[in-house]
């Protein structure tokens, strides 16, 4: 269940919203008290979350014999909500892009924190659409961003961004190397006893450094040349 919760949080729900939605999905049509117990939340907290999910269209309710029962919407509704958001913001994208083009990026350092911060940095690489990126990386990136990173690789390939990668020699990465051609990538391995603790990307006059420590996740983008 924790995996599903994490993926729903990545989708955009809060941790409590993910827990309540999954609890309701599992029990079908049920009372708030039961949902709260299954989600391991206080009843008052569960009520507030149910109200929020109802406003988002992910939970519906019905009165039976004077008692309110809640029912989770079909999971396909999650995709529908994303499509609706996409259609609403699409007309605004070109206008925002024009505004950004008028502002020159200055040399400096940008700092990002947490998993979402690391994802923002990797998104910046895709958004810059460089022809090639140079990478020196710890294998730990595959664990820290286990849901996000495989999708990021697919996005990089779709945008035809070639990657030259220097990594630790571990079994998991040796298996990944077999897909180098399809993944527009060239992986080279460091000596067996050499370890790396960060993930570094050089792209489009920038250097991104992601720390992968379990105690604190953060990353920086160093803008080297004004554009």
Give the separation between CA 167 and CA 171, rounded to whole angstroms.
12
pLDDT score, position 141: 92
Give the separation between CA 78 and CA 49, rounded to whole angstroms.
17
pLDDT of 176-202, one tens digit each? 999 999 999 999 998 877 788 899 999
Q: What CATH number does the domain containing 176 carry? A: 3.30.870.10
pLDDT of 19-77, one tens digit each? 999 999 999 899 999 999 999 999 999 999 999 999 988 999 998 888 999 999 999 88
Say if 53 falls within a structural domain: yes
What percentage of the chain reaches a pLDDT higher than 70?
95
Please check whether residues 119 and 185 belong to one and the same domain. yes
Residue ranges with strand state E in 45-194: 59-64, 67-72, 108-113, 132-137, 162-167, 185-189
User: Would you call 97 helix, strand, or coil by DSSP?
Assistant: helix
Say if 126 falls within a structural domain: yes
Which range marks the domain in which residue 214 is found? 105-223
């Amino acid at each position: 269940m924790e995996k599903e919760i994490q993926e729903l949080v990545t989708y955009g729900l809060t941790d409590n919203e993910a827990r309540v939605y999954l609890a309701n999905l599992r029990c079908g049509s049920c009372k708030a008290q039961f949902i709260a117990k299954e989600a391991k939340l206080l009843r008052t907290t569960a009520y507030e979350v149910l109200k929020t999910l109802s406003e988002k269209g992910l939970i519906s309710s019905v009165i039976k014999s004077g008692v309110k029962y809640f029912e989770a919407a079909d999971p396909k509704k999650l995709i529908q909500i994303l499509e609706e958001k996409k259609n609403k913001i699409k007309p605004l994208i070109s206008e925002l892009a024009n505004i950004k083009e008028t502002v020159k990026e200055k040399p400096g350092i940008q700092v990002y924190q947490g998993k979402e911060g690391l994802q923002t940095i990797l998104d910046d690489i895709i958004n810059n659409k460089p022809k090639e990126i140079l990478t020196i990386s710890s294998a730990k990136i595959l664990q820290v961003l286990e849901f996000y990173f495989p999708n990021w690789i697919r996005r990089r390939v779709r945008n035809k961004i070639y990657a030259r990668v220097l990594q630790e020699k571990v079994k998991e990465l040796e298996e990944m190397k077999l897909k180098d051609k399809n993944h527009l990538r060239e992986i080279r391995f460091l000596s067996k006893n050499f370890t790396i603790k960060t993930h570094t990307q050089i792209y489009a006059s920038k250097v991104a450094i992601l720390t992968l420590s379990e105690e604190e996740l953060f990353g920086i983008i160093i803008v080297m040349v004004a554009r």
